[in-house]
Amino acid sequence: MNYDKTIAFSLSGQPSPSWCTILSTADIGQWHDRTSDDSLKCLGYTMIHSHSQRQIFLSDLVARLKRSCDMHKCRNLFVRGRSTV
């Protein structure tokens, strides 16, 4: 098990100091809940626990889409429906 990549998270999003203590004894140092800055990505799905995490996720998503569209735009191509170039 890659303990340096392991992140424990609260399904409810509530902070839990008692769980953090238990996890630190098991060498799992990363904890994610609603007080975390970024959203958590688990198996390709984004897990959002707070409004600020949602805002950061959506602004990143819009920026990635804009970058992708700009790449097609500079090639004098346009995106219509599903396309891959």
Q: What is the mean pLDDT of residues 60-84?
A: 78
84 inside domain:
no
Q: What is the pLDDT of residues 22-62, one digit of tens each?
A: 878 888 778 888 888 888 888 888 888 889 999 999 999 99
pLDDT at position 51 is 92
Distance (Å, whole) CA 13 – CA 50: 8
28 inside domain:
yes
Q: What is the mean pLDDT of residues 65-78?
A: 79
Q: Which two tokens stand for residue 80?
A: 């219509």
82 inside domain:
no
Identify the burial level of 53 via C-beta atoms within 10 angstroms of its C-beta, where 0-12 means exposed, 13-18 middle and 19 or more buried. buried
Q: 42 forms bridges with which residues in the sheet?
A: 45
The CA R_g of the chain, rounded to the nearest whole Å, is: 18
22 inside domain:
yes
23 inside domain:
yes
pLDDT at position 16 is 82
